[in-house]
């Protein structure tokens, strides 16, 4: 189990006394039932201590079966450790697709939806909004099923691992579609701020990458589906990229999905990075804050005001949008959002000094931090942003009265 000792970024050493790697639902329920305290580990891509425990850490890496596709119902059901990298080609081979993807396919679906991981796009909710049903192995050694429409469904999906171990997930699928990806360089920052809705809504999924230097958006990535409105770059002062780019421009674009505007399968364009390669930089930390979409321009200007504090420690920032949803602990709960993301150099002393400055700048817009990334906000400030938190706590107490799935992160951030 030495490969499970740390998270992907290496900044968290898990404190678990015991590691488990169940290969079936029965093994999973048995381990959960017998443990006095436990956390579940997906593909280890969170930067925070959200998955950590000093007791039993249950890896889902062997729960990797695609259980079934139901074309009539428009669903796929998978085990709790399946990654998007495993799922997407299998769906594509059946002529099916998911609505959206995060920047990388390496992450497990259950881990992604548990933290409301997201891609971008005005029409797209976070990845958690594709969940139609879940089966969760609960503290008592049983299984509880939640389906969309159930009273507690809104609490069960983005659960931060606090309700139990997700044994299976059923996701919405749709007919496969094609996507083209185009990159534009050098858009003036002011043009992004002044035309935020037009630019971010100009394709199915749009990302703006900034280094907070030079008054520009370093790269604008547009992922379009057939039927999207035609984009007129002449309206803006950006130029089409002359070659493929990594979001961190100094790095090789080889790990990136195809750019250049050629249509291709959805799963070969919607994520930024390809399986089989290290996504992003590898040696890095990440933070992200979500503010209501209506404050996007003001929030970007507030961050720009401290860009000199940010830029020296940054590899790249990414701006994305998400549609509002009904999932209680989703950062997009009942609000269309903009995500302001930071990929940092791997230097925690420097990052931990700059995060409070960013949080102070964003405070007027009531930011919600990404559950799986690094933040320094006072827990009370985080908690007051979630109006359904008490309902989530009640659900957690009902399913897990002794707090078996409570770790330090959950205690600090959600419960106290
Ligand atoms: C290079 C990189 C790029 C990223 N890009 C994006 C991005 O584009 N968008 C974005 O929003 N985020 C992004 N992230 C963050 C990442 O998507 C989240 O941290 C996500 O939670 C990782 O999923 P995981 O499977 O690795 O989960 P882990 O980090 O292993 O676990 C996360 C949480 O999920 C819980 N969990 C996992 N599996 C289960 C299960 N079966 N049952 C119950 N609970 C479970 C864990 O207990 C923990 O609380 C990125 C991270 C990296 C390293």
Q: What is the pLDDT of residues 12-24, one digit of tens each?
A: 999 999 999 999 9
Cα-trace Rg, the chain:
20
| Nearest-CA residue for atom 23 of ligand 1 | 111
Q: pTM for this one?
A: 0.97
Residues with CB under 6 A from ligand 1: 8, 39-46, 50-51, 60, 80, 102-104, 107-108, 110-112, 114-115, 117-118, 160-161, 165-166, 279-280, 370, 372
Report how far residue 342's alpha carbon sits from residue 357's, in angstroms, rounded to the nearest whole number. 13
| Nearest-CA residue for atom 33 of ligand 1 | 111
Is residue 303 within 8 Å of 340, Cβ to Cβ?
yes
Q: Which atom of ligand 1 is nearest to the CA of 409?
A: 49
For CATH 3.30.465.10, the residue range(s) in the chain are 66-176
Q: How far is the CA of 116 from the centre of ligand 1 (A)?
A: 8
Closest CA to 284 of 340, 342, 210, 343: 343
| Nearest-CA residue for atom 53 of ligand 1 | 45
Q: How far is the CA of 312 from the centre of ligand 1 (A)?
A: 27
| Nearest-CA residue for atom 5 of ligand 1 | 103
Low-confidence ranges of the chain (pLDDT < 70): 1-3, 416
For CATH 3.30.43.10, the residue range(s) in the chain are 2-59
User: Ligand 1: which of 8, 80, 372 to mutate, most ligand atoms within 8 Å of CB?
Assistant: 372
pLDDT attached to residue 29: 98
User: Ligand 1: which of 46, 56, 100, 329 to mutate, most ligand atoms within 8 Å of CB?
Assistant: 46
pLDDT attached to residue 58: 98
pLDDT attached to residue 62: 98
Q: How far is the CA of 370 from the centre of ligand 1 (A)?
A: 10
Q: Give the architecture-level CATH label for domain 178-380.
A: 2-Layer Sandwich (3.30)
| Nearest-CA residue for atom 36 of ligand 1 | 111
Q: Which atom of ligand 1 is nearest to the CA of 47?
A: 19
Q: Which atom of ligand 1 is nearest to the CA of 370?
A: 11
Q: Which atom of ligand 1 is nearest to the CA of 272?
A: 8
For CATH 3.30.70.2520, the residue range(s) in the chain are 178-380
Is residue 158 within 8 Å of 185, Cβ to Cβ?
no
pLDDT attached to residue 228: 85
Q: Give the architecture-level CATH label for domain 66-176.
A: 2-Layer Sandwich (3.30)
Q: Which two tokens stand for residue 158?
A: 């983005």
pLDDT attached to residue 117: 98
pLDDT attached to residue 404: 97
pLDDT attached to residue 280: 84
Report how far residue 75's alpha carbon sits from residue 178's, in angstroms, rounded to the nearest whole number. 19
pLDDT attached to residue 227: 82
Report how far residue 21's alpha carbon sits from residue 19's, in angstroms, rounded to the nearest whole number. 7
pLDDT attached to residue 233: 82
Question: In Å, what is the CA distance from 92 to each residue of 65, 69, 128, 205, 356?
Answer: 16, 12, 20, 19, 43
Report how far residue 127's alpha carbon sits from residue 370's, in angstroms, rounded to the nearest whole number. 13
- Paired with 208 in beta bridges are 220, 319
Burial class (CB in 10 A: 0-12, 13-18, 19+), 178: middle
Pick the CATH number of 2-59 from 3.90.1650.10, 3.40.640.10, 3.30.410.40, 3.30.43.10: 3.30.43.10
């Amino acid at each position: 189990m030495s490969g499970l000792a740390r998270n992907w970024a290496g900044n968290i050493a898990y404190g678990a006394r015991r590691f488990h790697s169940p290969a079936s639902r029965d093994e999973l329920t048995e381990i959960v039932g017998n443990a006095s305290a436990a956390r579940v580990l997906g593909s280890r891509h969170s930067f925070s201590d959200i998955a950590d425990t000093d007791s039993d850490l249950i890896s889902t890496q062997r729960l990797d079966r695609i259980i079934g596709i139901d074309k009539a119902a428009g669903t796929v059901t998978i085990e709790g450790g399946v990654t998007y990298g495993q799922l997407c080609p299998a769906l594509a081979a059946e002529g099916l697709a998911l609505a959206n993807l995060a920047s990388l396919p390496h992450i497990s679906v259950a881990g992604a939806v548990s933290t409301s991981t997201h891609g971008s796009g005005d029409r797209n909710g976070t990845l958690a909004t594709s969940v139609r049903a879940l089966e969760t192995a609960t503290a008592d050694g049983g299984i509880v099923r939640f389906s969309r429409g159930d009273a507690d469904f809104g609490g069960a999906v983005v659960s931060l691992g606090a309700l139990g171990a997700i044994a299976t997930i059923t996701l919405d699928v749709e007919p496969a579609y094609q996507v083209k990806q185009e990159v534009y360089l050098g858009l003036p920052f002011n043009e992004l701020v002044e035309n935020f809705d037009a630019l971010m809504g100009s394709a199915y999924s749009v990302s703006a990458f900034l280094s907070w230097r030079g008054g520009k958006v370093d790269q604008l990535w547009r992922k379009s589906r057939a039927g999207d409105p035609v984009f007129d770059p002449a309206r803006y002062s950006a130029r089409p990229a002359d070659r493929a780019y990594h979001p961190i421009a100094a790095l090789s674009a080889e790990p990136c999905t195809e750019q250049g505007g050629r249509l291709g399968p959805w799963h070969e364009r919607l994520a930024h990075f390809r399986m089989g390669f290290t996504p992003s930089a590898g040696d890095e930390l990440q933070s992200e804050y979500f503010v209501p979409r209506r404050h996007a321009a003001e929030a970007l200007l507030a961050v720009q005001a401290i860009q000199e504090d940010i830029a020296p420690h940054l590899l790249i920032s990414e701006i994305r949008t998400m549609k509002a949803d009904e999932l209680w602990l989703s950062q997009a709960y009942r609000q269309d959002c903009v995500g302001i993301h930071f990929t940092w150099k791997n230097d925690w002393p420097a990052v931990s000094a700059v995060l409070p400055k960013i949080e102070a700048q964003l405070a007027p817009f009531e930011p919600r931090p990404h559950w799986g990334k690094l933040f320094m906000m006072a827990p009370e400030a985080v908690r007051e942003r979630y109006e359904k938190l008490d309902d989530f706590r009640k659900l957690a107490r009902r399913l897990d009265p002794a707090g078996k799935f409570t770790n330090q992160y959950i205690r600090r951030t959600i419960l106290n």
